[in-house]
Amino acid sequence: MFSRPTSSSMAFPKKKLQGLVAATITPMTENGEINFSVIGQYVDYLVKEQGVKNIFVNGTTGEGLSLSISERRQVAEEWVTKGKDKLDQVVIHVGALSLKESQELAQHAAEIGADGIAVIAPFFLKPWTKDILINFLKEVAAAAPALPFYYYHIPALTGVKIRAEELLDGIQDKIPTFQGLKFSDTDLLDFGQCVDQNRQQQFAFLFGVDEQLLSALVMGATGAVGRPAETKNRNKFCIQRFINFVVKLGFGVSQTKAIMTLVSGIPMGPPRLPLQKASREFTDSAEAKLKSLDFLSFTDLKDGSLEASS
């Protein structure tokens, strides 16, 4: 068992996690191996080109649950190392089906100097009540008692339908390190109640559904964890126009990798099986739309870079 966090053991960052938090992609080669060589370039792109200094590593966009435990540790280490003195906060997603694996990843995140950890609900043998889910989360949080802990609410993928509002009720009594929520669901009523019922706690309410971000901001979201894209100094409705376009084409992790290759010039590669590469048709359509909206500042992509994610 891991020791319980106490107020004296907690050393939280001075800055609250808020604003835009980039859900990082895990770059891969054509053979499905992690391409660690471009992560340093990726950090510089986020900081210098996008003005983003907070990241969320090994989440859905990062294909965290398609990576081995060893790979997840390596990816986390690379982001922390390359982000040193450049990034403000590196939050590592450590959720797994196994409690022991989640605890191992949480402890590792603390050891390498991450700034926080996040956890999804286990989704094969599922927790069906709030108390059972909190018991699981509490054990993971205890493995990294000095790190802020965030719950990653994404019921469409986990199948765990426990409302976030219900989960947050009294959660700090059980998990003293709890600092906020990554809310990746379309139930804006649930999200609004999370904000309304917890105003005194100063939690971070990070919204994770790009298509509904403007609505969530109105309801009190303190930030967004989203797909990294060409967003700096862009009109929010212009960004929505592009998101609406690609959603109609079919938009997921594979397509996000293709788009990031286009806008950043960094080869993100294909996703790992069982996901498939974005089609050439999608890539060509997205590129044309990006150009029409004047989103593409990197216009001299080599054919090889495009091919890696199309």
Q: State the catalytic residues.
A: 152, 182
CA–CA dist 301, 267 (Å, integer): 10
CA–CA dist 91, 71 (Å, integer): 16
Strand partners, 153: 183
- Exposure of 78 in the CB half-sphere (CA atoms within 13 A): 22
Asked if 225 contacts 208 with a C-beta cutoff of 8 angstroms, the reply is yes
Placement of tokens 């891991």 in the chain: 2
Q: Which residues contact 57 (CB under 8 A, 6 or more apart)?
A: 24, 64, 75, 76, 79, 90, 91, 92, 93
Strand partners, 118: 93, 150
- At 259, is the secondary structure helix, strand, or coil? helix
Phi first, then psi: give them for residue 232, nearest 5 degrees: -60, 130
Following CA atoms 173, 101, 158, 210 in sequence, which dihedral angle do they give, to the nearest 10 degrees? Answer: 80
Residue 24 is classified by DSSP as -
CA–CA dist 232, 158 (Å, integer): 32
